[in-house]
Amino acid sequence: MKTRAVAALVGTALLVSSCGGTTKGDAAPQQSSAPAATANPNAPLKQGLKIAFLPKQVNNPYFTIADGGGANAGKEFGAEVKEVGPSDANASSQVSYINTLMQQRQDAIVISANDPNAVVPALKQAMSAGIKVVSYDSDSGQDGRHLFVNQASAEDLGRTEAQLIAEQIGGKGKIAILSATPNATNQNTWIDFIKDELKKYPDMELVKVAYGNDDDQKSFTETQGLLRSYPDLKGIISPTTVGIAAAARYLSNSPYKGRVKLTGLGTPNQLRKFVKDGTIDGFELWNPGDLGYLAAYAAAALASGQITGAEGEKFKAGKLGEYTVGAKGEVLLGKPTVFTKDNIDDFNF
Amino acid sequence: MTALTEATRPGAGGRGLIDRLTRVRELGIVLALAALFGVTGAVNPSFLSVGSIRDILLNSAIVAMLAVGQTLVIVTRNVDLSISSIVGLTGFGGALVLADHPAVPIPVVIAGCVTLGAACGAINGLLVGMAKVPALVATLGTLYAFRGIDYAWAGGRQVNAADMPESFLALGSRSVLGVPLLALVTLTVLLAVGWMLRNLRSGRELYAIGSNPDAALLAGIRVRRRVMAAFVANGALAGLAGVMWAARFGTVDATVATGRELDVIAAVVVGGVAIFGGSGTVFGAALGALLLTGITSALAVLRVDALAQTAINGALLIAAIVLDRLLALRVAGTLRRRRYRDAR
């Protein structure tokens, strides 16, 4: 189902500001503070760690990139990183994989949970067998993992999307949102923050939230409907990769191209053509490769005893620099990156 | 239904009467379409603008193409659930070849996709026609099998608009004399298949098989061969629809068209094709596709509350079917009375 692409859109990474001074491949342990109960911040990352990535679904481009980032990180610190997982994003399909990984005595499991609750019992068992568990992209229940690597906070994503569209239409005029399904939790959370941010722009009016159900055809139809029923529409925010691609494809061949601004969440490869032909001025996303990269480093730091997952602990994640564990064992990747025609060619995912 | 079944069989009555009736058979759906466009246009005139009509034609082109193919199969009292997977497989395959081997000419890619689709259809045909597996079960199996091959092939890859040649993407958005190219392709196929079903022996035999498979066999019709041919043709059209999908949407991964088979079957049934075979036309099926697409577009334009849309969509669908059914019954009644009169 297309919903997995949406579900995948749960976070962000931007390195740019945080990587100053760190050399790529720097796997040396962080010589710093943050003493925790049993954590030894000076412990070196162990060699030959076995880390398994368990995405929601293995044939999903988003996870292919994220897990590829994890594999790159593994190469840097000499770990064996592999990706296993179901081909459908069902709630229960990951449990048998967790059990298998436990029997294989992996050092760490990095999981994007299809269902936050369904995987917890199996993960707890793995944890009691000494396996370190890191969730990324989509969190599992808090007692089923040591750390959650969060790609972006919902608040950052929502507010920055509103700011992007405001900037593009000059802070004035009617806008609409083209979302995924009406009950998509991620999108609805972001939309609440978009609405809240829009209060700062009295001249902008959100006229409608349309739902393209993360289906190409439906997203096309909804885009057409928005343009026909609001002839003076100035901009559209589409906080879903399927929606923004469909809307861009429609706009690029219509008289509305360039006149109606489009922004939201998408991947650079998907939208490269539309940024270059002037349909889209700018859109944003986290870098999924960095997400996997950070998750792999977090898993290695846990497995090497550098950190335990307690709040305030610090660890170093290669080229991304140093990260601090936040409340509830969360590690935040960073603010979303904005892609425009000036920088889009620097990214390939 | 009986009267209609007979009406579509040649030689069952006066030629003129049949012609009139076939026309009437699609009348219900035409009226439903007129009502939909009329009401929506009255509320929001921009729905009837040239650009809007063009969009709706373009939106329905792919579903209509699939509905034409599906009609061939349903008329023989079978069904093909695997078409969405065939569209996915061929759409992704075509896009992948275009992205990785830009030197391959576009017509070769299109022909390749149609062939691949026909091959998938042949597998269905072998299972249903030769191995006598019930179509519902056989094509449910291939629905998963083809999608699985697609997943394995794609391996998580996505082909984006920037990866494909501009000339290919232009096929999905270009218009000829103001009519979208994809709609013209569908129209051409529709007319060709419609003519064949109506006039060729092979076409008439499909109806005979669907009306009564045993009788068809006894009458010397090569049932297996015809059923096989229907599945192959349907697969080939699904392959063509796959290329159209890639050209139209530009972003293609292994999940393309997932779940679309039900939309197509709905369009076929709304278009007056009997789900148990033996009657109905491809024109009806194509109109059904147009109606379903039209309803979705109309709801998007009418500023209907998004959360209520799905329910309203279903209600309108049922309304269209009821309207069509009432008209059909009325026509059947008229026909019966007239026959009774003629017989006296």
Could you give the 3-state DSSP secondary structure of residue B176?
Answer: strand
Q: How is residue B132 annotated by DSSP?
A: -
A182 vs B255: CB contact, 8 Å cut-off? no
Distance CA A128, CA A130 (A): 5
Strand pairing report for A50-54 and A173-179: unpaired
End-to-end CA distance of chain B: 24
Q: Is B243 among the domain residues?
A: yes
The per-residue pLDDT for B14 is 53
The per-residue pLDDT for B6 is 43
Distance CA B150, CA B163 (A): 19
Which residue in the set A182, A231, A246 is minimally distant from B249, CB to CB? A246
Output the CA–CA distances (angstroms, integers) from residue A305 to A41, A111, A131, A313, in the order listed. 8, 20, 12, 11
Distance CA A102, CA B289 (A): 50
A61 vs B307: CB contact, 8 Å cut-off? no
Distance CA A133, CA A114 (A): 15
Output the CA–CA distances (angstroms, integers) from residue B172 to B158, B166, B243, in the order listed. 18, 10, 9
End-to-end CA distance of chain A: 21
Q: Which two tokens stand for residue B104?
A: 């391959």
pLDDT at A139 over 80: yes
Query: Is the dihedral angle over the CA atoms B176, B177, B179, B185 positive or is it negative?
Result: negative
**B193: domain CATH number?**
1.10.3470
Tell me which chain B residues have a C-beta less than 8 angstroms from the C-beta of A272: 160-162
Chain B residue with Cα closest to A218? B296
ipTM above 0.85, yes or no: no
CB of A254 within 8 Å of a chain B CB? The answer is yes
CA distance B151 to chain A (A): 6
Q: Is B7 among the domain residues?
A: no
Q: Which two tokens stand for residue B91?
A: 């759409």
- Interface test with chain B among A216, A272, A344, by most B beta carbons within 10 Å: A216
List, for residues A65-103, the tens digit of each pLDDT value: 899 999 999 999 999 999 999 887 777 789 999 999 999
CB of B299 within 8 Å of a chain A CB? The answer is yes
Q: How is residue B81 annotated by DSSP?
A: T
A339: left (phi over 0), alpha (psi -120 to 50) or beta: beta
Which residue in the set B52, B151, B249 is minimally distant from A228, CB to CB? B52
Chain-wide mean pLDDT for chain A? 85
Distance CA B88, CA A211 (A): 23
Tell me which chain A residues have a C-beta less than 8 angstroms from the C-beta of B299: 225
A63 vs B249: CB contact, 8 Å cut-off? no
Say which range, A19-28, A118-127, B168-177, has the weakest mean pLDDT. A19-28
Q: Which two tokens stand for residue A295?
A: 């998750």
DSSP per residue, B312-323: HHHHHHHHHHHH
Task: Specify whether the CB–CB gap between B28 and B327 falls below 8 A.
Answer: yes
Chain A residue with Cα closest to B301? A225
Could you give the 3-state DSSP secondary structure of residue B126?
Answer: helix
Tell me which chain A residues have a C-beta less than 8 angstroms from the C-beta of B88: none
Q: Tally the C-alpha atoms within 13 A of residue A327's C-alpha that lie toward its C-beta.
A: 0
A61 vs B258: CB contact, 8 Å cut-off? no
- Interface test with chain B among A84, A273, A276, A339, by most B beta carbons within 10 Å: A273
Count CB neighbours of B107 within 10 A: 8
Output the CA–CA distances (angstroms, integers) from residue A304 to A126, A264, A300, A332, A333, in the order listed. 17, 39, 6, 21, 21
In terms of CATH architecture, what is A154-285?
Answer: 3-Layer(aba) Sandwich (3.40)
Amino acid at B91: G
Q: Is B1 among the domain residues?
A: no
Q: How is residue B31 annotated by DSSP?
A: H
Q: Which two tokens stand for residue A311?
A: 């709040």
CA distance A330 to chain B (A): 28
Which H, E and C letters describe chain A, residue by residue? CCHHHHHHCCCCCCCCCCCCCCCCCCCCCCCCCCCCCCCCCCCCCCCCCEEEEECCCCCCHHHHHHHHHHHHHHHHCCCEEEECCCCCCCCCCCHHHHHHHHHCCCCEEEECCCCCCCCHHHHHHHHHCCCEEEEECCCCCHHHCCEEEECCCHHHHHHHHHHHHHHHHCCCEEEEEEECCCCCHHHHHHHHHHHHHHCCCCCEEEEEEEECCCCHHHHHHHHHHHHHHCCCEEEEEECCHHHHHHHHHHHHCCCCECCEEEEEECCHHHHHHHHHCCCCCEEEECCHHHHHHHHHHHHHHHHCCCCCCCCCCEEECHHHCEEECCHHHEEECCCCEEEECCCHHHCCC
The per-residue pLDDT for A33 is 38
Task: Specify whether the CB–CB gap between B195 and B204 falls below 8 A.
Answer: no
Distance CA B17, CA A117 (A): 65
The per-residue pLDDT for B18 is 56
Question: Phi and psi of A43, rounded to 5°?
Answer: -65, 135
Widest pairwise Cα distance in chain B: 72
Q: How is residue B159 annotated by DSSP?
A: B
A59 vs B55: CB contact, 8 Å cut-off? no
Q: Residue A256 — pLDDT band, cuts 50, 70, 90? A: very high
Could you give the 3-state DSSP secondary structure of residue B250?
Answer: coil
In a structure prediction context, what are the per-residue pLDDT tens digits for chain B, which is 344 residues long? 444 444 444 444 455 665 565 556 677 788 889 999 999 999 999 899 998 999 999 999 999 999 999 999 999 999 999 999 999 999 999 999 999 999 999 999 999 999 999 999 999 999 999 899 999 999 999 999 999 999 999 887 889 988 999 999 999 988 888 899 999 999 999 999 999 999 999 999 999 999 999 999 999 999 999 999 999 999 999 999 999 999 999 989 888 998 899 999 999 988 888 888 888 999 999 999 999 999 999 988 888 887 787 888 788 878 877 877 787 787 778 778 878 887 77
Chain B residue with Cα closest to A64? B156
Question: Phi and psi of A238, rounded to 5°?
Answer: -120, 100
- Interface test with chain B among A209, A213, A220, by most B beta carbons within 10 Å: A220
Supply the CATH classification number for the domain A19-152+287-333: 3.40.50.2300
Which residue in the set A208, A221, A226 is minimally distant from B59, CB to CB? A221
The per-residue pLDDT for A1 is 40
**CA angle (B319, B321, B326) in 5-degree steps:** 95
List, for residues A266-285, the tens digit of each pLDDT value: 989 889 999 999 999 999 99
B156 vs A61: CB contact, 8 Å cut-off? yes
Q: Residue A293 — pLDDT band, cuts 50, 70, 90? A: very high
CA A131 distance to own-chain centroid? 24
Q: Give long-range contacts, CB 8 A cutoff, 24+ apart: B30-33.
A: B30/B287, B31/B323, B31/B327, B32/B291, B32/B319, B32/B320, B32/B323, B32/B324, B33/B287, B33/B290, B33/B291, B33/B294
Task: Specify whether the CB–CB gap between B262 and B63 falls below 8 A.
Answer: no
Amino acid at A268: P
The per-residue pLDDT for B96 is 95
CB of B64 within 8 Å of a chain A CB? The answer is no
Task: Specify whether the CB–CB gap between A341 and A275 falls below 8 A.
Answer: yes
Distance CA B344, CA A118 (A): 74
pLDDT at A179 over 60: yes
Its domain, for residue B184, covers 19-335
Which residue in the set B154, B173, B301 is minimally distant from A253, CB to CB? B173
- Interface test with chain A among B37, B44, B48, B55, by most A beta carbons within 10 Å: B55
Higher-confidence residue of A34 and A102: namely: A102
Number of domains in chain B: 1
Provide CATH 3.40.50.2300 ranges for chain A: 19-152+287-333, 154-285
